Amino acid sequence: MKKIILSAFALFLLFSPQAFAHTYLDVTTPANEEVVTTDIQTIELNYSGQIEEGSFFTLEGSDGNEIPVSSFAVNGGKLTGHLDEPLNNDTYTVKWNSISQDGHPLSGDFSFTVDKAVDEQIDEVKTEEQPNIQNTEQESENMTPSTEVVEKDEQNSSTPLIIAGIILTVLIAISAFVLWKRKK
């Protein structure tokens, strides 16, 4: 009986750290819902752990059209995407798909807005088209970016391991109780 308890305890210790070791998206540049006021040609996703080659993201404007990302670089826990040209003023959604070092697939999305200052000469030209611009601005203000909660995905992905750990703990406690009762 002692061997069973020790074996169960060893398995619990072996698998418990893995329940909490999954990689998750930690920080992004630009941050979720950030308003960027300068030119931006690089988007960075920093993860809590290592990610594998083949990790990528797509970038979409508020109209749903995909903006091409010219290259990706994976360096440890950082995924960097480079754009050929700076982004125009708009709201963008980054949809990312990555693979953690342990092979666990990761995905999610976040949004940010580019709102750079416009030159005065361009303002004068656009003054003639102002009614259309105002309607577009009102429409984009009414849009709400969709944001997937990454933490919820990560909690869901580790839930089976946590449940298995709890069940194993209960089995160990029952085995210890039965062993204790037999000795009396």
Residue with tokens 């946590």: 162
Across residues 172-182, what is the average pLDDT? 82
* pLDDT value of residue 159: 59
Residue with tokens 């909490």: 20
Across residues 126-131, what is the average pLDDT? 54
Distance CA 6, CA 149 (A): 39
Q: How far is CA 119 from the centre of its chain?
A: 35
Contact criterion met (CB below 8 Å) for 45 and 96: yes
Is the pLDDT higher at 124 or at 63?
A: 63
Domains plus CATH for the chain? 2-183 (2.60.40.1220)
Q: Which of 174, 168, 184 is nearest to 1 (CA)?
A: 174
pLDDT of 5 strictly over 80: no
pLDDT of 115 strictly over 60: yes
Q: Are strands 78-82 and 90-99 parallel, antiparallel or unpaired?
A: unpaired
The model's pTM:
0.56
